Chain A
Amino acid sequence: MIPVTVIAGYLGSGKTTLINKFLVEASSPIAVLVNDFGELDIDSKLIDNEESLTLSLTNGCVCCKLSDDIGASLESLKNRDISAVVIEASGVSLPIKIANYGLSWPGFTLNAIITVVDGQSIARLLKDKFVMHTVKNQIQQADAVLLNRSNNLPLEELHKFTTNVIDENEISDFSDLILKEYSPIQLVKEGITDHASFQTYVFTSNKPVNKEKIKEYLLSNPNIQRAKGWIKEEDGNCFLLQMTPSECNFSSSNFNNETRIVIIYIGEGLPALKL
């Protein structure tokens, strides 16, 4: 019986980041079923073979692009030598529905449902007229909620729905977390941490800056994966900046020092931020 772990969470919550960690840290081969290869962060040197719907990695792992038919994907994995399956649920999936494949597809068993929550957007999503119930269900149906980017988040918001919240900042080893808390999933950390091609750039300024210009710069550079820092505007207002490839948020902050932003990006030649 192959254990299945479901990774749920709304669009942009950080599911792919977590799945990347499973892939590179796996000591025994696992399979991940994902919505889109494009978001995976796999070094081309690690790719052993690529077909239209399947990537085989040199460490024995496989990534499959998920079609509507999850059952067909699972069926095709039966003949492969893998010890566990991780399914990335789409942003609007109800985790229970996906988990039912672990419960009921012959040859597989359900391991756990982990829902990833983005601390920066969760309060907004829980009030959104279209997705509030979807997001609430994703949290309530999880065995564990993994909280990303938790700075400034009033935890009471989440505790209304679940007490099983794990702050990403307190975790040193993601696969270990799942392994110890919930299951016999055979994922053991191998000590690979950061991807080699990631670069870090730190922007500082002792003059006031314009947050709209910073936002424009960050969102117009597709190589930027992540940015975080504090900024101070001309009128003295300070903001905490949090940026992912799809979102750039500023929240009021009591921080009162000079502007400092850490930018993480892929590849070479990031144009300098000039204001």
Chain B
Amino acid sequence: MITVFPAKSIITMNASMPRAEAVAVRDGKILETGTLESLQPWLSKHDHKIDEQFKNSFIVPGLIDPHLHPSMAAVLLPTYFITAMEWKMPWGTTPATRSPAEYDERLKEAISKPTHGELFITWGHHNLWHGPISRSRLNSIDSKTPIVVWNRSFHEVCMNDAALELLEIKEADVANATQIDFEKGRFYEIGLGYAIQKLNPYILAPEIFKEGLLKLKEVVHFGGQTTIADMAVGLFDFETELNTQAALYENEDNPFRVELIAHSTVMQKGNSIEQAEELIAQLPERNTHRLNFGKRVKLFTDGAFFSQVAQLMEPGYIDGHQGEWLSTPEQFEENARVFWNKGYAIHVHCTGDLGLELAVDTLQKMQDEKPRFNHGFTIEHFGLSTPEQVFRLSKLGANISANAYYVHELSDIYSNDSVGYERASSMARIGTSFKEGITTTLHSDFTMAPAQPLMSMWVAVNRINEKGNLMCEEERITPQQGLEAITINAARVLGLDHEIGSIRAGKKADFTILEEDPLNIDPIKIKDIDIKATVFEGKVFSLKSQ
């Protein structure tokens, strides 16, 4: 049976037929797009029905987030959000909480509800908005319920007496530790590591991890996504992550597929890189319908962008501190060579321009040693860069997967406190990337940014930061390019463009149904477009009114 979905307009992202009015679907695949009239050769010869539920909506290819971390999301999502910024979630919007008194009130109210477990964990506390947190302050809110307050930055927790007692943390054991303030109940940096050890039975318990992954399922659907990529399976535990995702996501009710990319260091576990490659080569044997390993691998150069440990070229950071390497450049090159020579698409986490320089130099060496075309070498994150590096990436045939959200959240604070205005304003140099003809996509790296491709597109098109300032208008992209980035280009970067990423005959019937036309709406409203539903392989998954 053929199902035909007429729409107000279908934006196909297929340049040969950019717009259509109806799409015909059979057995989860697209038969043809066009008009009800042009579809007649199919419809007159086969059983069909016209499904008009999207006739007043816009259909775009199913949105793709080519880089996020389900396991990190699974740890964060079961916690209770009390945050300074508004967070839109499928189960409700967390309102902005912007004063200490308001914070205490929200916390008290949340604890009074009987829905939480033995230990109450909340995430999102920020000193600037919510005031200094301490054991005595938490005791005064509730002295009986064990409370853990996890800072927005993830770098600190604070506990009340009941939590310290439940976790058996005693003053005598931690008295000399410089990054634990027992008096105030605060654990930060390495002290946090100690607290996490104690918290692990609660945050990594199988049922909590499952709950987190189920919540992520809602988040992914809510963002209008039909494909996501887990860009480093094994951040916590490879088998648990893979098996739990398989158990929860491989079923008819799941509205998306997951492209899985192995983390080379995790697979290596102290063995040689050649042995790691052999293990990774076998992973596709475990593929299921929705969970797929391709011939891809994740490597890393420098440290995290949010933590200011990206490696920078001269003139570096304003305060003179240095970034970090995640492995020696020699080891990076050696690892890259093994995968390059075996024909892998290599995804390289690089955040600073010096980290990027290492990736570009290495790619040049690989090309000199063993030239390859359409090799899929992809720069992941793309925090700071120079125009010259983007030029070289273009010549070397690399792809770019950028976290545009950096511009929104970090460009103001990094202008003032980190790298200065010129470099901060041009972080995620996406305009140049498009001009150089590089296949460029956008990702959330969730939980670093909201898992909402329309939000990523909005940032890349507008480059408005959280202070409301336009940052580097020359690096803005057009709405057309923005939509390419989160559909067909994302599919290309994941090597799935033969199956998904545009709406044309033969591809999988993955659609996202929007209430407005993202290419003709005022670009500043792109992030607020309502998503009515998604369609995964022909099956409709509606989103309740938002």
The chain A residues found within 8 Å of chain B, CB to CB, are: 1, 10-11, 35-38, 65, 69-72, 75, 90-92, 94, 100-101, 103-107, 109, 128-131, 133-134, 137
Contact = CB atoms under 8 A, between A and B. Distances in A.
Nearest to A130: B329
Nearest to B312: A133
Nearest to A34: B270
A71 B197 contact: yes
Interface string B155-179: 0000000000000000001101111
Nearest to A12: B330
A11 B176 contact: no
A90 B330 CA distance: 13
B193 interface: yes
Given A36-B270, A137-B322, 6 more contacts: A71-B193, A91-B331, A92-B328, A100-B190, A103-B177, A134-B324
Contacts of B178: 100, 103-104
Contacts of B176: 1, 106, 109
Interface string B263-274: 000000010000
22 contacts: A38-B270, A65-B270, A71-B190, A90-B327, A92-B324, A92-B325, A92-B328, A100-B189, A100-B190, A103-B190, A104-B179, A105-B193, A106-B194, A107-B173, A109-B176, A128-B329, A131-B325, A131-B328, A131-B329, A133-B322, A134-B325, A137-B322
Nearest to A10: B328
Contact of B193 (A38, A69, A131, A137): A69
B191 A94 contact: no
Contact of B174 (A71, A94, A101, A106): A106
B331 A11 contact: yes
B354 interface: yes
B177 A104 contact: yes
Contact of B190 (A10, A105, A129): A105
Nearest to A36: B270
Interface of B: 173-174, 176-180, 189-191, 193-194, 197, 270, 311, 322, 324-331, 354, 357-358
Nearest to A134: B325
Given A1-B176, A100-B179, A130-B354, A11 B328 contact: yes
Contacts of A104: 177-180, 189-191, 194
B30 to A, nearest CB: 44
A65 B176 CA distance: 26
Nearest to A66: B270
A248 to B, nearest CB: 15
Most chain B CB inside 10 Å of its own CB: which residue of A38, A90, A130:
A130
Query: Top 4 A-B pairs ranked by shortest CB distance?
Result: A71-B193, A92-B325, A104-B179, A104-B190
Nearest to B332: A130
A105 B173 CA distance: 10
Given A104-B178, A106-B174, A106-B177, A130 B358 contact: yes
Contacts of B190: 71, 100-101, 103-105
A91 B329 CA distance: 10
B358 A134 contact: no
Contacts of B180: 104, 106
A172 B514 CA distance: 75
Contacts of A70: 193
Contacts of A72: 197
B178 to A, nearest CB: 5
A70 B194 CA distance: 10
Contacts of A35: 270
A100 B197 CA distance: 17
Nearest to B188: A104
B10 to A, nearest CB: 47
A117 to B, nearest CB: 15
A75 B189 contact: no
A137 B324 CA distance: 11
Nearest to B198: A75
Contacts of B174: 106
Contacts of B357: 129-130
A254 B325 CA distance: 39
A105 B179 CA distance: 8
A253 B358 CA distance: 34
Contacts of A94: 322, 324
B177 A92 contact: no
Given A106-B173, A129-B357, A130-B357, A92 B326 contact: yes
A11 B270 contact: no
Contacts of B173: 106-107
A65 B269 CA distance: 10
B270 A37 contact: yes
In this complex, which of A38, A92, A129, A134 has the most chain B Cβ atoms within 10 angstroms of its Cβ? A92
Contacts of B177: 103-106
A11 B176 CA distance: 33
Contacts of A36: 270
A54 to B, nearest CB: 12
B325 A71 contact: no
Contacts of A100: 178-179, 189-190
Given A103-B178, A130-B358, A134-B322, A75 B197 contact: yes
A24 B332 CA distance: 32
B358 A105 contact: no
A216 B250 CA distance: 53
Contacts of B327: 90-92
Contacts of B197: 71-72, 75
Contacts of B191: 104
Nearest to B182: A106
Nearest to A246: B330
B194 A71 contact: yes
